[in-house]
Amino acid sequence: MYHTGVPEGLEEGVTTRAALEVDIIEGGQKDPRKLEEELERVKDQQNKVMEELCVALEQKLQLESQFAETDESRKELEQKIVAANEMLRTYRQERELLRIELDNALQKVEEVSRRKGDSSGTKYFSEFSMTEIKEAAQNFDPSLKIGEGGCGSVYRGFLRNTPAAIKVIKLHSMHSSQEFQQEVDVLSKVRHPNLITLMGACPKPCTLVYEYVPNGSLEDWLRSSTRAKQLPWQARIRIATELCSVLAFLHSCKPHSIVHGDVKPANILLDEHFGSKLSDFGICRLLSSGEQSSNNTTVLYTTDLKGTLGYMDPEILVTRELTTKFDVYSFGIILLQLLTRLHALGIANEVRMAISAGTLEDILDPLAGEWPYMLAKELAHLALRCCEMSRRNRPDLQSDVWTLLQSIGASSR
């Protein structure tokens, strides 16, 4: 069909009118009045169609205008997005440059601090001659021997008018010499009320002189039923709190965190008031803040695993990563032993099963006196958190454990 481009209604009106006009011209075969009325009706239809056409044209113009505006807005938005992406790229470049500058600055500060510490760090110890050592230990009289182990023997002595514990190290390997120097380096520069005091050293042969702590080790007291009776639960909570305090102190040392690496009852000494002193730093490690694992924990990667079975972090056997959470695990085992006096191996599982079965009270050490059950249960849960297999799940000693122990200690007085 041929299309004229005229709207259908308008085209129909024009055709009808033309037909009417033809009828009138050809002789007026119809009534003129009716023809006039029909002509008027056609005119009205034509006018209506014209009005609709005008409205349609106006709407078309409006739509074209809106489309033009939308297209312009789209172009402006695209330009803004391009500009924003460029700004973001520039910002990222600047941020990366600032991060590099900050890292370099921090490294320089740490290096300066380390050099300053190495060159002018205060050392709280004296150097003794071998003659002084022999005189103090009465030529190493066996009756003065108060301890012996694979690394050497410890004698009670009196040195420069002060009671002392004299540790003579067996130099059966290079490790012995390194451990001697490590202990001197660490204990000569740090002080804490619950840290054994290094009075001095004699380099040849390798001899360390400590303050004398009269009540022996925590292991001595937990192993003996007679002695354990003299260590009530209040004293045990105090020992745990003091141990937590000194470990948190060592872990927060600057510029290097100190990991003891062999925290166990044998290395916790008790003074005349049953205050605790952490000792034996021969295998401790210094952690540099420059080495970090994926979760921003300071680590030391080591193949030389040392420590005592039962107190050693099991995760290190897999990862070979030494962190401060190594000591947290050891602390948890000791806390469980203070509660139960059970052997370290398997103690965490035994306590965990007792809690699940509702029989924790049955394995609490009765020699400590009558433990407040809810307090003991709270301590057991805390210890088990410290003994989690994954170090990521272990609490922080300073922010978590210390706060809770302080609260428990205050309520138990």
Distances in Å between the Cα of 19 and the Cα atoms of 6, 26, 269 are: 18, 11, 126
Active site annotation includes 271: no
Residue 387 predicted with pLDDT over 80: yes
Q: Which residue has the tokens 């170090």?
A: 391
> If we measure between CA atoms, which residue out of 228, 194, 230, 241 comes closest to residue 213?
194
Q: What's the pTM?
A: 0.67
pLDDT given for residue 5 in this prediction: 47
3-state secondary structure of 172: coil
> If we measure between CA atoms, which residue out of 138, 238, 253 comes closest to residue 190?
253
| Span 297-346, pLDDT tens digits | 454 444 455 778 999 999 988 888 888 999 999 999 999 999 999 999 99
Residue 3's pLDDT band, with cuts at 50, 70 and 90, is: very low
Q: Pairing between strand 126-127 and 198-202?
A: parallel
Residue 2 predicted with pLDDT over 50: no
| Span 229-272, pLDDT tens digits | 889 999 999 999 999 999 999 999 888 889 998 999 999 999 99
Q: Which residue has better confidence, 348 or 104?
A: 348
> If we measure between CA atoms, which residue out of 377, 340, 329 comes closest to residue 355?
377
pLDDT given for residue 370 in this prediction: 94
How far is residue 202's CA from residue 198's CA, in Å, rounded to a whole number? Answer: 12
Average pLDDT, the chain: 82
How far is residue 42's CA from residue 50's CA, in Å, rounded to a whole number? Answer: 12
Tell me which DSSP letter residue 312 carries.
S
How far is residue 98's CA from residue 102's CA, in Å, rounded to a whole number? Answer: 6
DSSP-assigned letters across all residues of 11-78: HHHHHHHHHHHHHHHTT--S-HHHHHHHHHHHHHHHHHHHHHHHHHHHHHHHHHHHHHHHHHHHHHHH
| Span 192-217, pLDDT tens digits | 999 999 899 988 778 889 999 999 99
Query: What mean pLDDT do residues 52-77 have?
Result: 83
Which of 262, 280, 327, 365 is flagged as catalytic?
A: 262
